[in-house]
A and B are shown apart, each in its own frame.
Chain A
Amino acid sequence: MNKPKVGVFGFTGCGGCQLEILNLEDQLLDLVNAIEIVHFTELVTEYSDTYEIALVEGSITTKHGVERIKKIGNIAKTIVAIGACAVTGGLNCLKNLYGPEKAKELVYGDKKDWIDSIEVKPIDAYVKVDYYARGCPPNRFEIVDIIRSLIVGRKPEIPNYPVCIECKRNGNTCVFELGITCMGPVSRAGCNSRCPNSVSGCEACRGVIDDPNVNAHKDLLSEYGLTVEDIMEGFNLYNACKGKTIEKRDK
Chain B
Amino acid sequence: MSAQYPTTWRRPPQIIQDRRLRIGLQIAVLAYLVLAFGSIEVNWQRVSEGLERGQRFVMGFLQPDFTSRWRDISQGLIESLTMTLTSTVVGVLISVPIGIGAARNLVPRPVYLVCRSIVAVSRSLQEVIVAIFLVAMFGFGPFAGFLTLTFATIGFIAKLLADDIEEIDETQAEAIRATGASWFQLLNYAIQPQVMPRLIGLSLYRLDINFRESAVIGIVGAGGIGATLNTAIDRYEYDSAGAILLIVIAIVMVAEYGSSYLRKFLQ
A and B together in one complex? no
A residues near B (Cβ < 8 Å) are: none
B residues near A (Cβ < 8 Å) are: none
